[in-house]
Chain A
Amino acid sequence: EADIYQTPRYLVIGTGKKITLECSQTMGHDKMYWYQQDPGMELHLIHYSYGVNSTEKGDLSSESTVSRIRTEHFPLTLESARPSHTSQYLCASSSFGGTSSEDTQYFGPGTRLTVL
């Protein structure tokens, strides 16, 4: 079992609210990711980070923002939630670039977000 944690696991919230999804890992990995996945659909990369103070947008455009102030912590924020943001959000980390030349990713359990 990978040491990567996400909270909350489930979140139901009204339109217009600001939310932060938490992700923490205790493996000392430099690289972290956020994916969005709808039921039965593929994973879409929305943000990634190579390390502290590094954040990049992924392949899928997202209105969310991320920050990386500490190695172990990579929170995702939505300033104003909308029903179109309803999805599952998965956080992952990897040791690529540090101790590994291959990007094997360790995923958290995910946050199921529902915006009413």
Chain B
Amino acid sequence: EVQLVESGGGLVKPGGSLRLSCAGAGFTFSRNSMNWVRQAPGKGLEWVSSISSSSIYIYYADSVKGRFTISRDNAKNSLYLQMNSLRAEDTAVYYCARVPTGWLGDAFDIWGQGTMVTVSS
């Protein structure tokens, strides 16, 4: 079964850091570009970051640029999001989502179940 499983969420104080992970299974992870999308409580979806299959192309939303870093380890079938200088407005469920191809210009066909990040003192 093709699936994505996120982990690493939790409660963190403003200014703190957190590292999210996303494990892929049931497909050849190294062939797919990947993304992080977040959803604040009761709000809509917000794209956060994308990384191509070989990590050559990386993009960030302006709201996280300079604070978040996306990376991947194809040998471990894993995607990561290092989040630094966290703010209250970063509080959200964070989803990882797959692109069915190795390049970034495609829809997100598989989503994980999400991991909750709460930034509060």
B partners with A: no
B residues with CB within 8 A of A: none
Which residues of A approach B to under 8 Å, CB–CB? none
